[in-house]
Amino acid sequence: MTTNDKITAAKAYVAKLPHAVSGDGGHPATYRTASILAHGFALDFSDAWQILQDWNLTHCSPPWSEKELRHKLNDAYVKAHDKPRGWIIKGRERQVGSNGRFVLDTSKIAELVDAQTPFKTVDVLLNCFDHGDIICITNDAGQTEDGRYFPASKGFFLTREEWINKFFSEGAPGAEKFNTPLESGAWIRINPFQPDKFDGTDSSVSKYRHVLIEFDRKPKAEQLAIFQQSNLPISLLVDSGGKSIHAWVRVDAESKEQWEQRRNKVYEYLSDHEPDPQNKNPSRWSRLGGVFRGDKEQTIIGFRIGSESWEAFETWVESQDFPDEINPTRLGEYDVQNDPNKVVGLGRYLTKGGSLIVIGQSGIGKSSFVMQMACSWAIGRELFGIPVIKPLKIGVIQAECDIGDLAQSYQGVTSGMDLKPEEITLLNQNLKFFKESAKTGRDFVDLMRKIITRLKLDMIVVDPLLSYVGGDVSKQDVSSNFLRNMVQPVLDETGCIIVLIHHEGKPKTKDALSGETISDMAYSGLGSSDITNWVRAVINIRRESKDKPIFSFNLSKRGKEAGLRMPDGRSTLSIKLKHAEDKVQWEVSHPVQAFELLRVGQQYAHFGTKPETTRKALIEELIKDYSLSRDQAEAVIKALITNAVMVPRRKGAIITYVGSKA
Over 50: is that where the pLDDT of 558 sits? yes
CATH fold label, 109-316: DNA primase, PRIM domain (3.90.920)
Answer for the pair 391, 426: CB distance below 8 angstroms, yes or no: yes
Instruction: Please write the tens of the pLDDT for every residue from 58-84.
Output: 999 999 999 999 999 998 998 888 777
- CA distance to 251, 345, 395, 449, per residue, from 459 (Å): 37, 14, 7, 12
Q: Which of the four pLDDT bands, split at 50, 70 and 90, describes residue 547?
A: low
**DSSP 3-state of 175:** helix
User: 3-state SS of the chain: helix, strand, coil percent to 5?
Assistant: 40, 20, 40
- CA distance to 55, 445, 542, per residue, from 400 (Å): 56, 18, 21
Looking at residue 340, its amino acid is P
Q: Which of the four pLDDT bands, split at 50, 70 and 90, describes residue 592?
A: very low
Q: Residue 270 half-sphere exposure, CB side, CA atoms within 13 Å?
A: 25
Answer for the pair 125, 168: CB distance below 8 angstroms, yes or no: yes
Least confident of 253-262, 368-377, 539-548: 539-548
Task: Please tell me the distance from the alpha carbon of residue 578 to that of residue 420, in angstroms, as a whole number.
Answer: 25
Structure confidence at residue 638 (pLDDT): 81
Percent of the chain, pLDDT > 90? 54
Quickly count helices (H) and strands (E) in the chain.
22, 28
Spell 228-248 as b/e; 16+ CB within 10 A means b.
bbbbbbbbbbbbbbbebbbbb
Instruction: Please write the tens of the pLDDT for every residue from 455-472.
Output: 999 999 999 999 999 999
Looking at residue 256, its amino acid is K
What are the extents of the domains in the chain? 3-78, 109-316, 342-589, 595-659
Q: Which of the four pLDDT bands, split at 50, 70 and 90, describes residue 600?
A: very low
Q: Which of the four pLDDT bands, split at 50, 70 and 90, describes residue 594?
A: very low
Instruction: Please write the tens of the pLDDT for every residue from 568-588.
Output: 777 888 888 888 776 777 888
| DSSP H helices in 246-383 | 256-269, 310-319, 328-333, 366-378
Q: What DSSP string describes 371-405?
A: HHHHHHHHTT--BTTB-BSSPPPEEEEESS--HHH
Q: Is 518 left (phi over 0), alpha (psi -120 to 50) or beta?
A: alpha
Over 70: is that where the pLDDT of 371 sits? yes
Angle between helices 45-59 and 3-14 (to 10 degrees): 20
| Comparison of pLDDT for 276 and 329, the residue scoring more | 276
Instruction: Please write the tens of the pLDDT for every residue from 395-431.
Output: 999 998 899 999 989 998 998 888 999 999 999 999 9
Answer for the pair 274, 446: CB distance below 8 angstroms, yes or no: no
Looking at residue 621, its amino acid is E
**DSSP 3-state of 587:** strand
Q: Is 63 left (phi over 0), alpha (psi -120 to 50) or beta?
A: beta
Percent of the chain, pLDDT > 70? 91
Structure confidence at residue 601 (pLDDT): 36
From 110, 217, 93, 197, select the one nearest 154 (Cα to Cα).
Answer: 197
CATH fold label, 342-589: Rossmann fold (3.40.50)
| Comparison of pLDDT for 249 and 649, the residue scoring more | 249
Structure confidence at residue 112 (pLDDT): 46
Answer for the pair 172, 165: CB distance below 8 angstroms, yes or no: yes
Strand partners, 550: 578
User: Is 0.95 surpassed by the pTM of this model?
Assistant: no
When computed from its CA atoms, the radius of gyration of the chain, rounded to whole angstroms, is 33
CA dihedral 647, 649, 655, 656 (to 10 degrees): -60
CATH of 595-659, one of 3.40.630, 1.10.760, 1.10.3470, 1.10.10: 1.10.10
